[in-house]
Amino acid sequence: MESLLWLLGTGILHLLGVLLIAGLLISAFVFRGIPYNDLAVLEFLETQELSLLAGEQFVFVTGVLILAWWRLGGNLGHRLSSRPLPFQHLFLLTCLVIPLSTICTAFHSWGMAAWVSLMDYVPALQQFNTTQAMHVLESMSTETPVWALLLVFAVAPALGEEIVFRGVIGRGLIHRWGMPLGILVTSILFAVAHLHPVHALAVLPMGIVLHYVYVTTRSFWAPLYLHFCNNAYAVLQATDPVAGTREIHFSAGLTVTLSLILFLSFLWVTRVRCVRRDGIEWTPPRPSLELPVEVPLTLTFSSLPWRLSLGGLVPLLGFLAARAAQI
């Protein structure tokens, strides 16, 4: 029930952010001495789309930080396990960006094809298309600076959504229901938060992977970094008119899937473990990423040979070469 309330709360924060920033923009419009007119105000707000989105994201992230700090009793760094990432994990996370984003894009393409066919039978479903964030991004990409798009569509959503879904909701569900079920339910709620059914389908695998890297690295910076990179990659693709025209063939799909599996496996092999002073690995009685204060522990992870890490790049480089040949 609390998880559902957090999900509802994120929607309310977004709505409050839109209303607050729209109210401020309309006030500025009126203070200019321009006679109030509904049509004129709507046209003015359309020209302020970037300001509206940036302000709405600011309200969302600020509200999430305050609520999470209150719910977790302060000290977010300890409660969320914000340990620094070693370079090897940072490398593996970076290698995950293109395979994960490509697979999510493929899910989106397949889902959208079915969605368009479904709308022919149920025209009322077209109302969902107004919630497509990708359409907004594509419409803004031609006139908006890249740094502003990254701020609105990559930095702010990654921070706010990771605190809510991995930091609060996922933390509680995993603690109560265990890893597999907790991660699955959290990822479903993460997908539902994106409103559009096709977008929800596309981000479901990303939600699962984000929680997986959180568990294996025991660091909140891991899902935050991967989430930001995934969104940033989507922004850069939106500004590239050629990127959206490339189709994923069956062989390329198998190659990129193999690449994703390899790097996820490497993360599992190098996962961070808690070790007691006597050298025995410690497992909490209930799943948790927090280190107990009463038990002296050290964090350790196994290093992966660099030849093996670089060897994992072979399928990814093959996929990129195949994609480049389609230009």
- C-alpha distances (whole Å) from 230 to each of 26, 103, 124, 210 are 34, 11, 31, 10
Q: Residue 142 and residue 105: Cα distance in Å, rounded?
A: 21
Mean pLDDT of 75-81: 84
Interior angle at CA 293, CA 185 and CA 281, nearest 5:
70
Q: What is the DSSP string of 175-243?
A: HHH-HHHHHHHHHHHHHHTT-SHHHHHHHHHHHHHHHHHHHHHT-THHHHHHHHHHHHHHHHHHT-TTG
- Say how many C-beta atoms besides its own lie within 10 A of residue 69's C-beta: 14
pLDDT in tens, 195-204: 888 888 999 9
pTM above 0.85, yes or no: yes
Q: What percent of the chain has pLDDT over 90?
A: 36
Q: Residue 201 and residue 217: Cα distance in Å, rounded?
A: 26
Most confident of 126-130, 210-214, 242-246, 277-281: 210-214
- C-alpha distances (whole Å) from 76 to each of 120, 156, 258, 293 are 48, 17, 36, 15
pLDDT in tens, 80-129: 888 889 899 999 999 999 999 999 988 888 888 887 787 777 776 666 66
When the pLDDT of each residue in the chain is averaged and rounded to a whole number, the result is 83
Residue pair 263/53 in contact by the 8 Å Cβ criterion: no
Which 3-state string (H, E, C) describes 112-175? HHHHHHHHHHCHHHHHHHHHCHHHHHHHHCCCCCHHHHHHHHHHHHHHHHHHHHHHHHHHHHHH
Residue pair 196/129 in contact by the 8 Å Cβ criterion: yes
What confidence category does residue 237 fall into, taking pLDDT thresholds of 50, 70 and 90?
confident
- C-alpha distances (whole Å) from 166 to each of 120, 150, 178, 218 are 37, 21, 14, 12
